[in-house]
Amino acid sequence: MVVKNLSVTPARVAKVKNFTFREGERSCVVIDGKGMPLYYPNLYLTTQVRNSSRSSSTLTNSAGHLCAFLQAMDEAGVDLLARMSAGYVLEPFEVEALRGAFQRRLLDQPEKKHGISFFSIRAPVSKEVMHARVGVATKYLDWLAKQYLRAPRDPDELARILQALKELRPINKKRNTLKRKRGLSDVGVAAVIELLRPGSRLNIWEDPATQVRNRLLFSVMYELGIRRGELLNLKIEDLDFGANQLSVMRRADEKDDPRPDQPLVKTKDRLLPVKTVLMNELRRYITDYRRHVPGAKRHGFVFVTHKSGPTQGQPLSIVNYKNIVNSLREAVPPLADFSGHDLRHYWNERFSRLMETAGVSEPEEELMRSQLMGWKFGSGSAKHYIQRYVEKKANEHSLKMQEENMKIPEFKS
């Protein structure tokens, strides 16, 4: 919520701090500007999110969305507990004003343009984030009201306010999908293939070890179609150099993983075949580069941070991985919209072409695709990844039909 002409610069009232329990479980806490935990937000997260067996990533995401709601309330001058003591929660116009805040990215430093606020004027969030923020705010407000709204001024007012909050969620009717990005464009494919070539000019990093590591990151994703979390979870013990195989393993709450925001494997455990060239490149990275990084021998994760500093030698984090992708976006124009997940989409396109050429039946193709991607057979996950390939084939058949000579039947009177 952007508030103009504030006489006092607002503070960032809530942030998320991740931590790891001794037994390996990942969790987080919402803290104030002085680092002190906030009682009610953390009570909500513990009783309503963590205790309902949600994943650590769900807990962290919910905490982040809750921080956005708390910041909006603070900048609007709303004290929820004081309001509830007075018999109400929010006024309708205050609910509507939340729309502006929830559409903007929450910053660490306030913007002074158009009034001082921690909600960015220039950086909107996606519809998915907006939807999630509204959902968390609605649930938190409902939970808090059930605890402390003892004597409401209107018994039906809370229900109306919660419904008004829900109606802030963006409507997604899945229309206008023609321009929606799905996978890599032909130009993007060419840029990625050039990036994966040894000695490529698109390998923009100066440090030789970092060049090898980053090229290998994208090579593994390109050849195997695995997710980011699966890539960052790879351990040396998962690599069978004799059989040229790689194991994708689920390691939630791994004790030996020092990353508070642990990369998670969303799919099933599985064993994947790997071509000899790629296995040799993995071996070379481990023996010629990784082993010389201070601190890397303390754990078994394959990809590590090379840059000197407090995290040197630790497993590559999600933040560092995102920085690598962002560097490519900024330096290579054809990859301005690139994401590592595009390589998973492109893997499925290549697999579809291969299956068509080989004459494999659809049921057998789905079985093999599900096995390699880690999906449960019959889950329907493949439909999301083969849509662009299906569109291309449909267009080819449509053109072929249009090119056939029109045969006009003879008219008999």
pLDDT for 3 beyond 50: no
CB 289 within 8 A of CB 213: yes
pLDDT on residue 178:
47
pLDDT on residue 65:
96
Q: What share of the chain in percent tops pLDDT 70? A: 90
Stretch 134-159: mean pLDDT: 94
pLDDT on residue 179:
47
Stretch 226-231: mean pLDDT: 94
CB 54 within 8 A of CB 2: no
Distance CA 16, CA 29 (A): 6
pLDDT on residue 322:
92
Q: How would you label 191-227 residue by residue, b for 16+ Cβ within 10 Å and e otherwise?
A: bbeebbeeeeebbbbeeebbbbbbbbbbbbbbbbbbb
pLDDT for 354 beyond 80: yes
CA 37 to chain CA centroid, Å, is 26
User: Mind listing the pLDDT tens digit for each residue in 362-382?
Assistant: 888 888 888 899 888 877 777
Would you state the structure tokens that stand for residue 143, as one six-digit string? 């939970």
* Structural domains of the chain in order of their starting residue, each with its CATH number: 15-166 (no CATH), 181-406 (1.10.443.10)
Per-residue pLDDT band for 214 (boundaries 50, 70, 90) equals very high
Would you state the structure tokens that stand for residue 389, as one six-digit string? 């390939």
* Cα distances (angstroms) measured from residue 190 to each of 7, 61, 275, 342, 346: 54, 35, 21, 13, 12
pLDDT on residue 224:
94
pTM for the structure as a whole: 0.68
- 199's CB contacts (< 8 A; 6+ apart) are none
Stretch 225-232: mean pLDDT: 94
pLDDT on residue 306:
96
Three-state SS at 144: helix
pLDDT on residue 388:
66
Alpha helices by DSSP H, listed for 103-207, are 127-148, 157-166, 186-195
Q: CA nearest 233: which of 213, 249, 253?
A: 249
Q: How would you label 164-188 residue by residue, b for 16+ Cβ within 10 Å and e otherwise?
A: bbeebbeeeeeeeeeeeeebbeeeb
**Which class for 272: exposed (0-12), middle (13-18), buried (19 or more C-beta within 10 A)?**
buried
Distance CA 322, CA 17 (A): 19
Residues in the chain, total: 413
Per-residue pLDDT band for 34 (boundaries 50, 70, 90) equals very high
SS3 content of the chain, % helix, strand, coil (to 5): 50, 10, 40
Stretch 7-24: mean pLDDT: 80
Largest CA distance in the chain: 93
Stretch 308-325: mean pLDDT: 93
Of 328 and 409, the structure prediction assigns the larger pLDDT to 328
